[in-house]
Structure 1
Amino acid sequence: MASKKYLLLAGAMSLLAASSSYAQVTPVFDALDSTKVPASRQAQQNNFANHQYDFPAKPRDMWELGFHGGLHVINGTIPAKPGFGGGISLRKSLGHTFSIRAEYTGSFDKGQDYRLRTVAGAGGGAATIWSKTAALNNGLIVPNYKTATHQLSFDLMASLSNILFYKAQPKVNWYVFGGYSLGLIDVDVDAVDGSGNGYSYSGVNFNAPRKDIKDQLKNIYDGDYESNAPSQGNRGNIGRKDNNQLWRHGADFGTGIAFRVSKRFNIGVEEKYTMYFDDYLDGYSSPYSNHKDAFSYTSVRLNFNLGNSSKRVEPLWWVNPLNYAYNELSAPRHMKLPTPVLPDADGDGVTDQFDREPNTPAGAPVDVHGVAKDTDGDGVPDYKDKQLITPTYCQPVDADGVGKCPDPECCKNMQPTANCSSLVLPSVAFKGSSTKVSSDNEAILASVASTLKSNPTCNILVTGHAGAKGKKGGVDLSSRRVDSVIDYLADKQGIDRGRFIKQNTPGESGTVDLSPAN
């Protein structure tokens, strides 16, 4: 029986876990929302909002109303049949981890033994109740019972999975609990037949398999359970049938898991164990053992959150208390952030951490890296250059940036020698595994061709990249792209193929670079 019960529990939990993946989970707690804070805690909330206190006030949260039902079993001396329990509960949070719950459970249990047991020594009036049956079977009986219970429990619960460091809100809530139970228990046995006579077991083969024995006993008993079972201690006379109800104090504990379906609803599975420290919950106490009977209740629970969502958040065991802190780190709304200090020692508009020339004179024009501009590239920065644009053929220059050009009278027919190293040529980008020169790249290469035609003595290094690790496939793709660039410049733009030098290196595999080779 126990193994079947736990297989059922495992199956239900697996089904609920699968279905919970469809729940839409969004953060539900805003620590700056004072509309969900009760008046008694508004002073703390105001101090928090004004940066006079570090912690926000605890918000109002909803109550949880639950309905439950499931398998109820008595773990006792007599083998139990599957019973049923059901009821209602009301739960309220004390904080994000702890909560309290009041719960009513009504249950019906039955049990039937398959062994002959002695009635003598069982105590609790067993000899009197079973006297007629025992007289027919040499002082032996086969016990049975039917137990009806009303149980009221008060439990302290602890949630184990709502404080999350890597998620906004829990989809699943594991919890444990323990507390006090008050039971009103009615235990009856079927000790005589409808005529008030005892049962004879003379026709029962007690050497048969257990199931066969129970089937034979089923044909003997009439199933009326007309006799009050033996009891331990005092019965409370509360005006019910035969005054057979027993008041019992008990302790309960258990564990459960709930799956969030929406802001208003969750489904749970729970296992609860209740001990009343009574050995007659199944109508029989073994004279050979001090074992006390207990209730095992495996239930499916449908839980509903009660309250106005405009004034209350979800029950706090569904709220991750770290949610607000992480939101503030991501998008600050309440934190006091210091004004950033970005030093710029030379006042050129480029902060020191990015300034590659942190001591340029005041007023000197600089580029985006804080380096003094040199428009004509003669090595003399603009703020010192007395000849801002010096032709290349007049360089090198003196300390004031003034070039030394040849005398026009003696060098009228001299052509300036091309300075190939000063050529700046663009790169050609390819997409995916393409090796074809695109229309965009044709315009780029047309510009390159124009530059090469203007500098006929300059040779060009065409560099392809085979990827970061230079894999074999990457080398082949890179080589084909280099050939495509050279073919376009030679075949479409008329540039002599002898001016190109090819190479492949590691690097960004989507580009082909062009640079002077002289």
Structure 2
Amino acid sequence: MASKKYLLLAGAMSLLAASSGFAQVTPVYDALDSSKVPASRQAQQQNFSNHQYDFPAKPRDMWELGFHGGLHLINGTIPAKPGFGGGISLRKSLGHTFSVRAEYTGSFDKGQDYRLRPVSLNNSSAWAPTAALNNGNIVANYKTATHQLSLDLMASLSNILFYKAQPKVNWYVFGGYSLGLIDVDVDAKGANGAGYNYSGVNFSASRKDIKDQLKNIQDGDYESNAPSQGNRGNIGRKDDNQLLRHGADFGTGVAFRISKRFNIGIEEKYTLYFDDYLDGYSSPYSSHKDAFSYTSVRLNFNLGNSSKRVEPLWWVNPLNYAYNELSAPRHMKLPTPVLPDADGDGVTDQFDREPNTPAGAPVDVHGVAKDTDGDGVPDYKDKQLVTPTYCQPVDADGVGKCPDPECCKNMAAKPACNSLILPSVSFKGSSTKVSSENEAILASVANTLKSAPECNVLVTGHAGAKGKKGGVDLSSRRVDAVIDYLADKQGIDRGRFIKQNTPGESSTVDLAPAN
């Protein structure tokens, strides 16, 4: 039974851990916001805002209302059947770590033994008829119904995080006081009021077979009050039926934050009532005390106005404000930084490569005096701020000496236009396109024309013998092709070309100086 219990617990925790990926909401809590501080702590908040106190006031936070249910077992002498528990809780923080929780839990438990056990009939009259039929032995069983009130102090272990704004998973431990109203009944008699005779049961069979045989004998009415501790037989019962017991409880749990208003948890709670009769039987050979084990799934809701309250403080990282203030100061008093600058040039000494420049001297970003023309004389001494390179080196005042101009030396005489010799361009068939061979010829012509920019060019096309039909048009198109190439491809001004068409061999276009 215990292995199934922990398997169920592990599966539920895995499911909830997967769901925690949806909890991506960062808390919005501003320590400077006095609207979430109660009136009783407003004086502290005011002193903090005025830099008269180092710590902000603790804000109001929400209450947590919880509903829970799960597997309930009695750890006692008699093997337990799976029971059920459920209830409601209310939790309030004392600070970021500690909180208190009041809780009600109702539970139902059953158990069935599979062995003959001796029973002491002192204060055990319920078992007397059965013990008389079985040589002083019984097969114990029980049905227990419990109302339990608990008040626990809880400690959260996950909300002081140094590397996250807010915990998404909250581990906690707790311990406290429980008051139990416990009704323990046993099935000790048959319908006719006689005890059970187990002489026909094969107690050497398997546990399952033994329980099947017992099921056929017992009527399952649980008609009798279970025995109670001998020295408390008539003390601590309510209406001579239910046991009233003080107890201590402790446990641990984990909660997964789904949103600002809701979280899901899993918890294991152990309650000790220091009583050996919670399962209806006390072994005469041991002083073992029975205890309640409760494994629950918990649905928790935060109650309160979010405009006036923050989330329960165990979900608020107390370092959140401090780290935010370090990253983006809003409340800290930051002094104006004063860095030494011995020469007053605006570049602090720790970065100044020339820490003794005269007052008012222009400097670069490294604190070095500027030298605009690079002549070796800083601007604050230079009487000629921009000295051409060809006039350098300069004197102590930054003034250079430029050489005499030689604008007319080594200049070649411009050729006379009438001395230019320009080639002709040939076309094949009826083509009007400048061929690659003609491109090379015209490139040479362009170089010649560029060296004599004052010379114009006569471009002559030939319309064929006696200007035969169609020849003039073909000749004109070839002349245009030559001029277009020289103007568009070689950059010669179109205004320098003069066109004409004459009779003659129609496959050429002649070029000649026009001057």
* TM-score of the superposed pair, with normalisation by structure 1: 0.76
- 1:149 partner letter: T
Superposed, 1:72-91 pairs within 5 Å as 72-91=72-91
Give CA deviations for 1:255-309 in whole Å, capped at 9, x if unaligned: 0011111111111100000000000000000111111000000001111111111
Tell whether 2:32 aligns with 1:32: yes
Tell whether 2:271 aligns with 1:266: no
Find the aligned partners of 1:113 and 1:253 in 2 and give their Cα distance.
Answer: 28
- 2:134 partner letter: N
Tell whether 2:10 aligns with 1:10: yes
Give CA deviations for 1:307-331 in whole Å, capped at 9, x if unaligned: 1111111111111110110110111
Question: What SS does the corresponding residue of 1:254 show, helix, strand or coil?
Answer: strand
- 2:204 partner letter: N
Q: Aligned residue for 1:322?
A: 319
Tell whether 2:299 aligns with 1:302: yes
Find the aligned partners of 1:8 and 1:298 in 2 and give their Cα distance.
Answer: 10
Deviation at 1:406, TM superposition (A): 3.6
Q: Aligned residue for 1:251?
A: 248
Find the aligned partners of 1:171 and 1:406 in 2 and give their Cα distance.
Answer: 82
Deviation at 1:407, TM superposition (A): 4.8
- 2:152 partner letter: D
Tell whether 2:116 aligns with 1:125: no
Q: Aligned residue for 1:20?
A: 20
Matching residue within 222, 226, 239 for 2:223: 226
Find the aligned partners of 2:372 and 2:68 in 1 and give their Cα distance.
Answer: 83
Find the aligned partners of 2:358 and 2:335 in 1 and give their Cα distance.
Answer: 31
Superposed, 1:390-409 pairs within 5 Å as 390-407=387-404
CA contact (8 A) 2:238 2:244 kept: no
- 2:62 partner letter: M
Q: 1:56 to 1:106 in 2, by over 3 A?
A: same
Find the aligned partners of 1:31 and 1:275 in 2 and give their Cα distance.
Answer: 42
- 1:125 partner letter: N
Superposed, 1:79-478 pairs within 5 Å as 79-119=79-119, 121=120, 125-126=123-124, 128-232=125-229, 233=232, 234-236=234-236, 238-239=238-239, 243-407=240-404, 413=409
Find the aligned partners of 1:281 and 1:38 in 2 and give their Cα distance.
Answer: 46
- 2:116 partner letter: L
Give CA deviations for 1:335-377 in whole Å, capped at 9, x if unaligned: 1011122333222233333322222112212222222111111
Deviation at 1:394, TM superposition (A): 2.6
Give CA deviations for 1:415-442 in whole Å, capped at 9, x if unaligned: 9xxxxxxxxxxxxxxxxxxxxxxxxxxx
Find the aligned partners of 1:34 and 1:149 in 2 and give their Cα distance.
Answer: 46
Q: 1:244 to 1:414 in 2, by over 3 A?
A: farther
Q: 1:225 to 1:16 in 2, by over 3 A?
A: same
Find the aligned partners of 2:122 and 2:65 in 1 and give their Cα distance.
Answer: 40
Deviation at 1:26, TM superposition (A): 1.0
Q: 1:391 to 1:266 in 2, by over 3 A?
A: same
Find the aligned partners of 1:150 and 1:291 in 2 and give their Cα distance.
Answer: 23
Sequence identity percentage: 88
Find the aligned partners of 2:194 and 2:300 in 1 and give their Cα distance.
Answer: 49
Q: 1:124 to 1:340 in 2, by over 3 A?
A: farther
Find the aligned partners of 1:29 and 1:95 in 2 and give their Cα distance.
Answer: 15
- RMSD over aligned Cα, in angstroms? 1.7
Find the aligned partners of 2:277 and 2:253 in 1 and give their Cα distance.
Answer: 28
- 1:83 partner letter: G
* TM-score of the superposed pair, with normalisation by structure 2: 0.77
Q: 1:356 to 1:412 in 2, by over 3 A?
A: farther
Find the aligned partners of 1:368 and 1:20 in 2 and give their Cα distance.
Answer: 53
Which has the higher mean CA deviation after the structures are superposed, 162-171 or 363-372? Answer: 363-372
Question: What SS does the corresponding residue of 1:402 show, helix, strand or coil?
Answer: coil
**Any stretches of 5+ residues in structure 2 without a counterpart?**
412-515
> Runs ≥4 in structure 1, deviation > 6 angstroms?
none
Find the aligned partners of 1:27 and 1:391 in 2 and give their Cα distance.
Answer: 67
Q: Aligned residue for 2:66?
A: 66
CA contact (8 A) 1:235 1:245 kept: no
Give CA deviations for 1:217-241 in whole Å, capped at 9, x if unaligned: 11111100001100011344534xx
Question: What SS does the corresponding residue of 2:44 show, helix, strand or coil?
Answer: helix
Tell me the matched-pair count. Answer: 408
CA contact (8 A) 2:227 2:281 kept: yes
Find the aligned partners of 2:241 and 2:371 in 1 and give their Cα distance.
Answer: 107
Deviation at 1:413, TM superposition (A): 4.2
Find the aligned partners of 1:63 and 1:36 in 2 and give their Cα distance.
Answer: 14
Give CA deviations for 1:378-435 in whole Å, capped at 9, x if unaligned: 11111111222222223222322223444558x97499xxxxxxxxxxxxxxxxxxxx
CA contact (8 A) 1:27 1:323 kept: no
Which has the higher mean CA deviation after the structures are superposed, 8-17 or 350-359? Answer: 350-359
Deviation at 1:69, TM superposition (A): 0.6
Q: 1:235 to 1:224 in 2, by over 3 A?
A: farther
Find the aligned partners of 2:243 and 2:366 in 1 and give their Cα distance.
Answer: 89
Question: What SS does the corresponding residue of 1:130 show, helix, strand or coil?
Answer: helix
